[in-house]
Amino acid sequence: MPTIIASININGAEYALPPDPRVSLLDFLREHVNLPGAKKGCNQGACGACTVLVDGERILSCLALAVQYEGRSITSIEGLASDGALHPLQQSFIDHDGFQCGYCTPGQICSAIGMAAELRRGVPSYVTADVADATIALSNDELRERMSGNLCRCGAYNGIVAAIAEQHAKEAP
């Protein structure tokens, strides 16, 4: 009888899941697959440094077990560039000085991409005035509330907000 090896897709490549089901997705990325872009800040869901995308939705990889995501597609910061070109939001962070040490930056960028998808789906936030409105504008309050799970110890928030707002405006229909 053939052995079935459970796998997970990360940035377009298939990887066998770890035999130990206790391995977090963050540790799997950083220590098993050698993708250190997602950062271990708090390791308890409080800082956002470990944010990655699962089928386009943002999650905190420190709070997830790798085996939970069998058959799913993970995108980490290493998977955003294509054909040698940075993702437009990565470039926007550079243009707006949206980082200092850069430790929080991979999580900020993955989170902002996931946030944009939530807005397109009409997912309301705590500050959304009309939760029935399917078209939610990314006001300054919306942006700050929706990105409030991603902390920056360097305090580069002005540049982070400017980078995300600029990219969102470019993508607006």
Q: Which is nearer to ligand FES, 93 or 136 (CB)?
A: 93
Minimum distance from residue 130 beta carbon to ligand FES (Å): 30
Q: Which is nearer to ligand FES, 15 or 93 (CB)?
A: 93
Minimum distance from residue 31 beta carbon to ligand FES (Å): 14
Residues 51, 38 contacting (CB under 8 angstroms): yes
Distances (CA, A) of 13 to 30, 48, 75: 15, 24, 10
Minimum distance from residue 4 beta carbon to ligand FES (Å): 30
Cα 35 to Cα 166: distance, rounded to the nearest angstrom:
28
Neighbours of 120 (CB within 10 A): 13
Minimum distance from residue 139 beta carbon to ligand FES (Å): 23
Minimum distance from residue 42 beta carbon to ligand FES (Å): 4
Residues 104, 111 contacting (CB under 8 angstroms): no
Q: Read out DSSP for 88-138?
A: HHHHHHHHTT--SS-SSHHHHHHHHHHHHHHHHTT---TT-S-TT-SS---
What is the contact surface with ligand FES in residues (CB under 6 A)? 40-43, 45-50, 60, 62, 99-105, 152-154, 156
Cα 119 to Cα 138: distance, rounded to the nearest angstrom:
8
**Would you call 103 exposed, middle or buried from its count of C-beta atoms within 10 A (0-12, 13-18, 19+)?**
middle
